[in-house]
């Protein structure tokens, strides 16, 4: 089956930093009954990944990266709004504290994870980005979290996920609160090495892993 050409068009709008066109195409796709996660996974994420590759190769610079990120945030907000509209309050998925780790401002992926978890009936406490390990643990204790999920996008900040594991052990909480790690540089090997309970490749995988843990 041939792929819907709208995905290539939407991907290009992210690469070309066309914020208004991103908003238009996303709204139209959703209004026409499209699955919001489909346009996210097939157009916007490949688009921003391509921007990241161009930036990594020095073919695109920080101001352009920031404009593409703004366009991506518009798409994410619209997709997340549509996902939250589908939330099923009947399902009880458990209590999850989510954050992007200290030193890291990348939160587009984490926001998608938050919305998809809410849509799947989890009680989500989103601490935002650049969040200190002590703050994450404090909130997890306060809300009696079943799971702490962290996102890290930089090779320098993923070490914070290890700091979290060590702090949980020191506080005697390691066997009480499960942990899931995610983010572009994070791998299953890293998760195993630092003693995290789970690794999630994407938002959907995060839901699957947390559900497995809580069963
Ligand atoms: Co930055 N950046 N950035 N950036 N940026 C990367 C990460 C980079 C790989 C680009 C590159 O060089 N090719 C590179 C890191 C290199 C490295 O560490 N080795 C990089 C750099 C260098 C930087 C700066 C240092 C640039 C500078 O200032 N010179 C700076 C750092 C700032 C800081 O954090 N201290 C910086 C800044 C920025 C912007 C602010 C411009 C912007 C972020 C805006 C924002 O998030 N609000 C930005 C962006 C957009 C990117 C890229 C292009 C895209 C990231 C993204 O949003 N992807 C990125 C390149 C890339 O990753 N390919 C890059 C889409 C998003 C949906 O995916 O976040 O991976 P992702 O989330 C996925 C999965 O990973 C998973 O599910 C999500 C959905 O599928 N997931 C989880 C993530 N967390 C999860 C948690 C879970 C479960 C699943 O459970 C807990």
Nearest CA, atom 35, ligand 1: 104
Q: What does pLDDT average to over the chain?
A: 94
Give 107's strand partners.
Answer: none
User: Is the full-model pTM beyond 0.75?
Assistant: yes
The model's confidence at residue 1, banded by pLDDT at 50, 70 and 90, is low
Model confidence pLDDT, tens digit, residues 171-185: 999 999 999 999 999
Model confidence pLDDT, tens digit, residues 2-42: 688 999 999 999 999 999 999 999 999 999 999 999 999 99
What does the alpha-carbon distance between residue 193 and residue 156 come to, in Å, rounded to a whole number? 16
Ligand 1 neighbour 118 (Cβ under 6 A): no
Nearest CA, atom 12, ligand 1: 56
Ligand 1 neighbour 128 (Cβ under 6 A): no
Which is it for strands 178-182 and 198-199: parallel, antiparallel or unpaired?
parallel
Ligand 1: centre distance to CA 2 (Å): 30
What does the alpha-carbon distance between residue 42 and residue 31 come to, in Å, rounded to a whole number? 18
Ligand 1 neighbour 80 (Cβ under 6 A): no
Q: What is the pLDDT, as a whole number, of residue 84?
A: 78
Q: What is the pLDDT, as a whole number, of residue 4?
A: 86
Ligand 1 neighbour 153 (Cβ under 6 A): yes
Ligand 1: centre distance to CA 186 (Å): 11
């Amino acid at each position: 089956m041939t792929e819907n050409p709208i995905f290539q068009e939407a991907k290009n709008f992210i690469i070309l930093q066309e914020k208004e066109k991103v908003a238009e195409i996303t709204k139209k796709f959703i209004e026409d009954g499209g699955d919001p996660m489909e346009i996210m996974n097939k157009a916007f994420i490949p688009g921003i990944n391509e921007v990241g590759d161009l930036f990594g190769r020095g073919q695109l610079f920080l101001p352009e990266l920031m404009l593409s990120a703004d366009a991506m945030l518009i798409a994410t907000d619209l997709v997340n709004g549509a996902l939250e509209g589908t939330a099923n309050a009947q399902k009880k998925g458990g209590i999850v504290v989510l954050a992007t780790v200290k030193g890291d401002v990348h939160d587009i992926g984490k926001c998608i994870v938050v919305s998809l978890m809410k849509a799947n009936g989890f009680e989500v406490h989103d601490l935002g980005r650049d969040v200190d390990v002590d703050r994450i643990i404090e909130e997890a204790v306060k809300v009696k979290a079943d799971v702490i999920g962290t996102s890290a996008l930089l090779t320098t900040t993923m070490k914070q996920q290890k700091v979290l594991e060590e702090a949980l052990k020191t506080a005697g909480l390691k066997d009480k609160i499960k942990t899931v790690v995610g983010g572009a540089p994070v791998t299953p090997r890293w998760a195993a090495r630092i003693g995290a309970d789970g690794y999630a490749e994407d938002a959907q995988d995060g839901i699957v892993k947390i559900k497995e843990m809580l069963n």
